[in-house]
Structure 1
Amino acid sequence: MNSPALLSCLRLTLALPLLLSPSVTAQDSRREGLDVFEKHVRPLLAKHCYECHSAESSSVKGNLKLDTRTATLKGGDSGPALVAGKPDDSLLLKSVMYDNPDLQMPPKGKLSEDEIAALRHWIEIGAPDPRTGTSDQISKTTRLKQGRQHWSFQPVRLVQTPSVKNAAWTRSEIDHFILARQEQAGITPAADADRPALLRRVTLDLTGLPPTPQQLSQFVADPASDDEALAKVVDHLLASPAFGERWGRHWLDVVRYADSVGKTRNIPFPFAWRYRNYVIDSFNADKPYDRFVQEQLAGDLLPSRDVRQRSENVIATGFLALGSMDLNERDLDQFRLDRIDDQMDTLGRSMLGLTFGCARCHDHKFDPISQQDYYALAGIFASTRTLSGNRSRAGMGNTYFHPELLADIGDKAAKEAIAGRDPAQLKAATLARADEIRETLAPMVQRFKAMPDNAPGKAALKQRMAVLRRELQSLQPADAAAGTQGKSKAKQQSKQQRLEAVPFDPAGDIAMGVSEGRIEDLKLRIRGEPDLEGDVVERGLPTVLETVGMSRIKEGTSGREELAKWLTSSRNPLTGRVLVNRVWGHLFGRGLVETPDNFGVAGALPSHPELLDYLAAGFVQDDWSVKRLIRRIVLSRVYRLSTDIQPQQAAVDEGNQLYWRGNLRRLDVEAIRDSLLQTSGQLELQRPAGAPYKAEFTGDLSRVAARGNLPADLQLSSPVRSVYLPVFRSLLFGMYTVFDFAEPDQVNGQRDVTTVPGQALFLLNNGLVADASVRTAKQLQQQYGEDSKAQLAGAWRLILCREASADELRMAERFVESADAEATGLALLVQALYASAEFRYTP
């Protein structure tokens, strides 16, 4: 597209009133900053600094304390420790950089590059720090007693529907809760959105796709009441396969789904797609949420009625195997503890809204979760074997992927499991012994390499290592041992070729998942250090939630099955609340609790606590049905309100905390892309088979990407739904990063929403948008012939799901006529509509 044409397109985009971007406030960065502090900075300070620079220190060095925000800003004998927003001016960062030989902290050794980077980032974003006052050391008993009073740890209440003055306005009990608060504040709700706007809103919300012009005309012409007409549309959308693709993607955000491991060795996950499809199918089938949760934590331990269900249950446990791990980590114990921490953090934040990871190195600083609680729960996952297909390097060679490290979902294995002879469980003892040998070998290899050639005992150590390696090889199946054969040929291969040289069947009956492992209770790790072991902690639950009650862990089992059933107990105060809050947030742009992944003390309070409990209690009583929950919400009156701003109401509630109008919500990147493909006639609704890339490749994606050779079969321009495109950690599509796709290495219950120039430039310059514009223009010309006015009116119905006004049509007609060619003008007009705020936002 030439420059003058592009400028014309840009002028039209700015000229049309409908194209003006609404005022959108970026999401509050405070939550992100606190997450950075709790996840990275606080553990770093506790591990490296508190021994000498806290109230607990026997002697505070340099009069510097770093255990409160006030003390850190005040500093010590050398001045303030940090200057918020200015890392290069902060003594804290200067000292850990080791650039000044007279200023090097911690004295025992320099921090890792990742730790230094985390500290720098934290200071750059203003050093957000929730620690207040002085170091308040209160007893664990007091902390527990106080913590149990927090609202989210209280039982879900059966609340009465409040009475309202204007009962005629309501359509459901939900409306009573909303209207009662509005009447208390003296606010009148906005008018309902018109039918075109409501149809576009509910269709995008439930399927991630825009309505077709035919669906628009049918809904607008439906002689039924708005209530009845909307109910028919909603039931149709809930029955559509697109529903599971839309709402399954929401869940994939929460469980940090990706098609590669990320970090130092970005090895692919050739079978992650099985879990992705399981999630989509579960939402389409309206699988009860309690069963959905149980399968993901302990599907391999649940009874199965047939081979198909057994395989599905095992695939579900991929939830625990999708973590982003450092495969270059040579310390096996560190690697194992990092994996357990990922599993616990994901479980806690996704299903309970609790940040368990904050108690790995010390007692949780906000919530009543002790370090003992952390390791009690961690023991359950330590007794579980994670089958991700990957292993850490740990001195064992350069092959990071092996199919033998995946779960068997073949018919034979399923039948044996149903008959009580689960091969995975029978193999657990053998695998546990192999793990023991690897853990023993890793430090021996390091010690051997460090010894001089003629050192006493080196020959004996070599002999002992050889014995262990032979035993390890005997424990591995023939397929795994095959990787050690043909050494002379391997020597001729490059290192990268060897990394990619593990043969397997991309269509094989294997999947990511877990099985029972070596059953053990973990030792508490002092300050989270693998080699600083404390007392053994018996497996169990966080003490603050013991009142819910969990069945005693059966002897010889990990405890995952008991944990799964405890999570989904009707007495659990968190599981139902967290899920209904997520659903509300996706439909309104903001949860009743604005921190969907944190229901702890540092999280937000619910804006409508009674409504939250009403929904949570109803959700459980309604057999944990997600579809019925969504239906109940979208048929409410509050859901269908227009987004029009009324100055009188805004003066009372500018942030719309009381939901007196609809919230303008920008489409996520998948909905934008899928809308482009659908309206231009390109979208293929059939699910693609297998992995979304050349699954035979098992090398380091980052290395081949640097050479411009990423092995992706499905590209951004591929005509499939976005949920089926590959999600490679650290290698996301440019469009994904521009439009705030969820970071796939962490829990994301609510995506960030930014408004930046790159988004407008993408819509005006990217080939995907330009191609869609040309295709849509041709489609309109074929449909309406030479009737230019009909073409323009059709463009509005197709792209914006409404009729164009007379002024808009006149302006568009003049624009098209001013172009060098009519076809070019129509394509430019279509692209202007695609670039408009109205296209990017739900009405």
Structure 2
Amino acid sequence: MTISKNSFLTFSSFLLLLLGACRNESSAPIGLADGDQISYNFHIRPILSDKCFACHGPDANKREADLRLDTEEGAFAALKESPGKFALVSGRPNESEVYHRITSEDPGELMPPPESNLSLTAQEIELIKRWIEQGAKYEPHWAFMKIEKPSLPETDWGTNEIDRFIFSKMSQKGLEPNKEADSYSLIKRACLDLTGLPPSPEILEAYAGFPEGHSYEDLIDELLNQPAYGEKMAILWLDISRYSDSYGYQDDNIRTQWPYRDWLIHAFNKNMPYDQFLTWQLAGDLLPNPTKEQILATAFNRNHKYTEEGGVIPEEYRIEYVLDKTNTFSKGILGITMECAQCHDHKYDPISQKEYYELFAFFNNSKEKGFEGDVSQSKPAKSPILWVEREDLDGILSFINHQDTSRLSISVMGELEGEEKRTTFILDRGVYDAPTIPVEVSTPKSILEFPENFEKNRLGLAKWATEKENPLTSRVFVNLVWQEIFGRGIVKSAGDFGMQGDLPTHPELLNWLAADFMENGWDIKRLHKQIMLSSTYRQSASLSKKHLEIDPDNYYLARAPRLRLPAENIQDLVLASSGLLVREIGGPSIKPYQPSGLWEAATSGRGVLATYVQDKGEKLYRRGIYNFIKLTVPPPKAIIFDSSNRDRCEITRNRTNTPLQALVMLNDPMVLEASRVLSTKLSEKYKDHESAIEEAFKRIVCREMKSSERSLILDYYESELEEFQANPEKSKQILDVGEYPMNPEAITPENAALMQVIVSLYNLEETITKS
């Protein structure tokens, strides 16, 4: 079933209406002309989902008056409590009980009832009336419809297919695309998007102006082949897979899952197809003659929290672990929030409690236990365990960065077999000790029925998820990549493609990308290149009055977005631009500078993580992806810059703007140390401070200085120099920061003044912004 073209043309106005951003009380719905076709999916379902489905939706236990409005059959059936009446009568709003109830002035009849604190606006009522007049046609939920590749719009702007869809929607809104960004902006943008690192002075020099032999496409190819690409991509998946370096809960002791992180980086760098990438993580252990690499990938399932506290009920926590696996799969891979179906039928999406536990059953046959020892007996990994021997590191697991001689242990998946195989029950209200009806493995029929010929285990689930008939997996992933690049997905609620999720701003583009992704072998690097070669991506970020009037939130991408860097990449930018960055790939997590007392204030006082022990030497200058994550006390600087705390699957990070962020950039020892080190290096390289400042600006801001900026910065340097020359003792105070060795001869007023200039450059909004 397809949605008519007209139903898409005006949907975005209603997205704003649904978000509560744009409402008025005129008699006609915003943005719709009298003859426009009303779409159930894009105009009506969101209203009913928000205002009606809690009482008249999928949850049979909470359904009022035995009336179901989320299905066509239920909505057109005769009302049991009002014989001869119908909730909906096609083409006749005045004979439709729904219309009478939403327009009634009698509080006893009005729907939604006043006590629900819900109400319909005049526009929503008018919209429902017009939909009934047009036949009250239902449609399957857009996200559950089979992915079909739509035809390309006829447009004359852009460099590839993406631009046709973007320009078509843009022009409907009266917008025109921005000009292409200058080469320095594009180089910085591409480097940050593909590697999470700023462009080096050498890359800036080679690609500035994109001369012959160093085209923009050449730059993209070079960046896709850098090892840093895998590190950048892995951050997204570490959030999804809830990776951490500790077990969580009260004792929160150490764990050794970091080889899984090494595998992630390796998989992205070698461009493992996404369907294989998922299959290995979900069920690598169930493949024929599985290798240790395939088994290692299944650590994805076991990254959840574990309790080590005495006195717990093992089965209670085992069930918690299986629930976590189920919810991570549904949210991270399918983009559907199923958690509420643990206790009852889903109130908004067509997923029953029975179907939830049928999905749960795929993960319920693991050998893992709900409780294993206490903190005094803590093991690096919980069973089942994959042991990595030294010989493995010279062979199939050579990508693991392990320097010492000990064996590694990683928590991975493993199946119970034969008589031990568990029976899965629907749990009454989701309680671990309240089993009711037994169920077999299966998947929600509203998404895609589970084929009879697929294995009844996680391998079968992986095949189902990557089946080309599955309407969600490809859509969800291309949306995640789009979100990584543009800051917001085509579907803003990237982890919720269900009834309560946001509508796609460009539904045809989403379908086209999802279909094209599968047609081309689930090739992740190809998808990245495709998006980044588009004219949409290459626009400047300049903001006009027209942009603000028509599209202040940049839904239609008539300009490039301005986005603050993720927390890890802010650290990376500072270290890389200063020359401090250690580019070693993989290995155990490291403990950088951190305010004292944080761990100690939030610990049980037991275990090796009771006290924070900062690392030394080169470990202090690793990329942000390698920072040690203790679940009860995540890295404070990263949290201030909106990183995930990793205690559950996270699909989207917030981007806030708080004074704490400015305080970090002005006072963090890493930023100050990097400024001191760069100042020293440039002072040794150049005899004049102007040349030193020029290179510092190019390294940090990633472009050449304008003349007005040069004058301002040089004036600042002179004023700081004068201050330090008048108070020589202040030079040592300023420069005495961090553990990187300091040459006593470099403790000069000139070096201190240059350091202050560099600190100010790191604190520019432009520095930590991709634009």
* TM-score in terms of structure 1 length: 0.67
Aligned with residue 442 of structure 2, among 523, 527, 540: 540
CA distance in 2, matches of 1:562, 1:613: 25
CA contact (8 A) 1:386 1:513 kept: no
Distance 1:714 1:574, change over 3 A: farther
Higher RCO (CA 8 Å, separation ≥ 6 residues): 1
| Matching of residue 161 in structure 1 with residue 149 in structure 2 | no
CA distance in 2, matches of 1:742, 1:760: 20
CA contact (8 A) 2:318 2:371 kept: no
Cα deviations across residues 816-836 of structure 1 (Å, max 9, x unaligned)?
Answer: 111223222211111001011
What is aligned with 1:781? 683
What is the Cα deviation at residue 669 of structure 1?
1.2
What is the Cα deviation at residue 531 of structure 1?
2.5
What is aligned with 1:232? 218
Q: Please state whether the residue corresponding to 1:535 is helix, strand or coil.
A: strand
CA contact (8 A) 1:740 1:753 kept: yes
Aligned with residue 358 of structure 1, among 340, 360, 363: 340
Cα deviations across residues 286-315 of structure 1 (Å, max 9, x unaligned)?
Answer: 0011001000111011125xxxx7111111
What is the Cα deviation at residue 233 of structure 1?
0.4
Matches within 5 A, 1:143-158: 149-158=140-149
Structure 1: gaps of 5 or more residues: 1-27, 31-37, 44-49, 57-67, 75-131, 134-145, 419-504
CA distance in 2, matches of 1:638, 1:392: 52
What is aligned with 1:213? 201
Q: Give the % identical residues.
A: 31
Aligned with residue 464 of structure 2, among 554, 566, 572: 566
What is aligned with 1:826? 754
CA distance in 1, matches of 2:277, 2:138: 29
Distance 1:403 1:770, change over 3 A: closer
Amino acid at match of 1:646: S
Q: Please state whether the residue corresponding to 1:381 is helix, strand or coil.
A: coil
What is the Cα deviation at residue 278 of structure 1?
0.7
Amino acid at match of 1:513: V
| Matching of residue 382 in structure 1 with residue 360 in structure 2 | no
CA distance in 2, matches of 1:831, 1:311: 47
What is the Cα deviation at residue 680 of structure 1?
1.2
What is aligned with 2:188? 200
What is aligned with 1:294? 279
Cα deviations across residues 2-50 of structure 1 (Å, max 9, x unaligned)?
Answer: xxxxxxxxxxxxxxxxxxxxxxxxxx999xxxxxxx9xxx99xxxxxx9
Aligned with residue 741 of structure 1, among 643, 647, 658: 643
What is the Cα deviation at residue 506 of structure 1?
8.2
CA contact (8 A) 2:634 2:645 kept: no
The size of the alignment, in residue pairs, is: 608
CA distance in 2, matches of 1:371, 1:661: 44
- Of Structure 1 and Structure 2, the greater helix share is in 1
Matches within 5 A, 1:627-642: 627-642=525-540
Aligned with residue 410 of structure 2, among 511, 515, 533: 511
Q: Please state whether the residue corresponding to 2:526 is helix, strand or coil.
A: helix
Structure 2: gaps of 5 or more residues: 1-18, 22-48, 55-59, 67-111, 119-123, 126-136, 397-403, 593-599, 725-748
CA distance in 1, matches of 2:64, 2:405: 54
CA contact (8 A) 2:166 2:556 kept: yes
Q: Please state whether the residue corresponding to 2:422 is helix, strand or coil.
A: coil
Q: Please state whether the residue corresponding to 2:262 is helix, strand or coil.
A: helix
What is the Cα deviation at residue 52 of structure 1?
13
Cα deviations across residues 422-478 of structure 1 (Å, max 9, x unaligned)?
Answer: xxxxxxxxxxxxxxxxxxxxxxxxxxxxxxxxxxxxxxxxxxxxxxxxxxxxxxxxx
Q: Please state whether the residue corresponding to 1:567 is helix, strand or coil.
A: helix
CA distance in 1, matches of 2:477, 2:63: 41
Distance 1:382 1:201, change over 3 A: same
Cα deviations across residues 527-552 of structure 1 (Å, max 9, x unaligned)?
Answer: 11223221111221122234463634
CA distance in 2, matches of 1:797, 1:552: 56
Cα deviations across residues 34-70 of structure 1 (Å, max 9, x unaligned)?
Answer: xxxx9xxx99xxxxxx9999999xxxxxxxxxxx996
CA contact (8 A) 2:491 2:502 kept: yes
Distance 1:712 1:372, change over 3 A: farther
CA distance in 2, matches of 1:232, 1:788: 34
CA contact (8 A) 1:688 1:720 kept: no
CA distance in 2, matches of 1:249, 1:397: 29
Amino acid at match of 1:638: T
What is aligned with 1:583? 481
Q: Please state whether the residue corresponding to 2:215 is helix, strand or coil.
A: helix
Distance 1:691 1:657, change over 3 A: closer
CA distance in 1, matches of 2:314, 2:20: 36
Cα deviations across residues 120-157 of structure 1 (Å, max 9, x unaligned)?
Answer: xxxxxxxxxxxx99xxxxxxxxxxxx998111100001
Q: Please state whether the residue corresponding to 2:228 is helix, strand or coil.
A: helix
What is the Cα deviation at residue 657 of structure 1?
0.8
What is aligned with 2:705? 804
What is the Cα deviation at residue 649 of structure 1?
3.3
CA distance in 2, matches of 1:682, 1:336: 44
Distance 1:412 1:724, change over 3 A: closer
Cα deviations across residues 680-717 of structure 1 (Å, max 9, x unaligned)?
Answer: 111111135345479xxxx9965269997225647997
Matches within 5 A, 1:16-35: none
CA contact (8 A) 1:182 1:660 kept: yes
What is the Cα deviation at residue 553 of structure 1?
3.7
CA contact (8 A) 2:258 2:587 kept: no
Q: Please state whether the residue corresponding to 1:408 is helix, strand or coil.
A: strand
What is aligned with 1:33? none
Distance 1:728 1:589, change over 3 A: same
CA distance in 1, matches of 2:204, 2:491: 34
Distance 1:717 1:840, change over 3 A: farther
What is the Cα deviation at residue 378 of structure 1?
1.3
Distance 1:769 1:331, change over 3 A: same
CA contact (8 A) 1:683 1:719 kept: yes
What is aligned with 1:759? 661
Distance 1:691 1:818, change over 3 A: closer
CA contact (8 A) 1:717 1:768 kept: no
CA contact (8 A) 1:263 1:325 kept: yes
What is aligned with 1:401? 379
Q: Please state whether the residue corresponding to 1:510 is helix, strand or coil.
A: strand
What is the Cα deviation at residue 671 of structure 1?
0.9
Amino acid at match of 1:595: S
Q: Please state whether the residue corresponding to 1:544 is helix, strand or coil.
A: coil
Aligned with residue 530 of structure 1, among 425, 432, 438: 432
Matches within 5 A, 1:577-616: 577-616=475-514
CA distance in 2, matches of 1:728, 1:148: 46
Distance 1:70 1:398, change over 3 A: farther
CA distance in 2, matches of 1:708, 1:802: 45
Distance 1:775 1:510, change over 3 A: same
CA contact (8 A) 1:376 1:538 kept: yes
Cα deviations across residues 745-794 of structure 1 (Å, max 9, x unaligned)?
Answer: 12222111110001111111121111111111112222222x22212211
CA distance in 2, matches of 1:239, 1:391: 43
Amino acid at match of 2:623: R
What is the Cα deviation at residue 332 of structure 1?
2.2
Q: Please state whether the residue corresponding to 1:599 is helix, strand or coil.
A: coil
CA contact (8 A) 1:147 1:544 kept: no
What is the Cα deviation at residue 344 of structure 1?
0.5
What is aligned with 1:136? none
CA contact (8 A) 2:317 2:371 kept: no
Distance 1:690 1:182, change over 3 A: closer
CA contact (8 A) 1:384 1:516 kept: yes
CA distance in 2, matches of 1:720, 1:203: 18
| Matching of residue 282 in structure 1 with residue 258 in structure 2 | no
Taking only aligned residues, the RMSD between alpha carbons, in angstroms, comes to 3.4
CA contact (8 A) 1:259 1:728 kept: yes
Amino acid at match of 2:506: H
What is the Cα deviation at residue 386 of structure 1?
3.3
Cα deviations across residues 477-508 of structure 1 (Å, max 9, x unaligned)?
Answer: xxxxxxxxxxxxxxxxxxxxxxxxxxxx9831
CA distance in 2, matches of 1:591, 1:684: 32
Moved more, 614-623 or 319-328: 319-328
CA distance in 1, matches of 2:521, 2:258: 28
Distance 1:317 1:712, change over 3 A: farther
